[in-house]
Amino acid sequence: MMSGVSDEDESDNMICCAACGVAENENIRLKKCNACKSVRYCSVQCQKDHMPQHKRACKKLVAELRDEILFKQPESTHLGDCPICCLPLPIDDDKYIMMACCSKMICNGCNYANRMRELEGTAKSQKEAERDLMKRAEANDPVYMSQVGVRCYQEGDYKGAFGYLTKAAGLGDAVAHFQLSCMYYDGKGVQKDKKKEVYHVEQAAIRGHLRARHNLGFIEKAVKHWIIAANMGYDGPLENLKLEYREGLVSKEDYASALRGHQTAVDAAKSSQRDEAEAARIK
């Protein structure tokens, strides 16, 4: 029986070195260009030889890939959903807390309900809570390390803050990336560094950190960032878009879309339990 794939088709499917044309086989493994990942080489020498003609296309592909990742609308903020009620966590810092036992964030509504249950005799002792925190520290939990790093920063311990935040950022924590961007912007504990500031604020934004996304709108003078943040329920960027719309710098369609997205995100985070918690907090 004849094969359905011709010799020409097999040739087209072969992976070859972009410089010398040698095909990949059991003895030769080609490596991708570290920057654009779009071409492969059989050796470092071939990569060096091919760089003059590949350099321009490589830079263009890297820029396109960066924009594709950076401007993708995240499915949620860096906080995600409350693991108890499964609703999106509120954006305001004072409307959720971190659980010492697992470093997960829960909304004030669920925390309030837990406290009501604890009043019936199931509350953890202070020592038990402290043991939980120690376990998170020993496990190198990125959320816990990030929280400690932020606390160190607020207390003026910039060296300690940098150590904790760097570890947490290395494990992908959005808050740590954002706080590091602030440190490089302010020059507190580190030398001011615009390149590192932008790198960390971009990493935070990609992970759904809305204040980082808001800041990027100013840094890059790109309203796309504000539209993304507004669509996730953040108020500040929506106000910026309103001003830009009045100046004729944002289209009516984009502004209207951002308004609808913002309202949808705000509505998705509402619950009667959270309203009860807010009412109790105000009292």
Same structural domain, 132 and 252? yes
Q: Which of 34, 33, 15 is nearest to 25 (CA)?
A: 15
Kindly compute the dihedral angle of the four CA atoms of residues 266, 272, 277, 281, in this order, to the nearest 10 degrees.
70
Domain count, the chain: 2
- Give a yes or no: residue 51 inside a domain: yes
- Give a yes or no: residue 4 inside a domain: no
- Give a yes or no: residue 83 inside a domain: no
Same structural domain, 100 and 235? yes
- Give a yes or no: residue 33 inside a domain: yes
Question: Cβ(202)–Cβ(65) under 8 Å?
Answer: no
Question: Cβ(111)–Cβ(243) under 8 Å?
Answer: no
19-45 pLDDT per residue, tens:
999 999 888 899 999 889 899 999 999
Question: Cβ(91)–Cβ(77) under 8 Å?
Answer: yes
107-155 pLDDT per residue, tens:
999 888 877 776 655 545 556 656 666 677 667 888 889 988 998 999 9
* pLDDT at res. 266: 92
Residue ranges making up the domain that contains 211? 93-276
156-192 pLDDT per residue, tens:
999 999 999 999 999 999 999 999 999 999 999 999 9
Query: Which residue bears the tokens 């570290």?
Result: 34
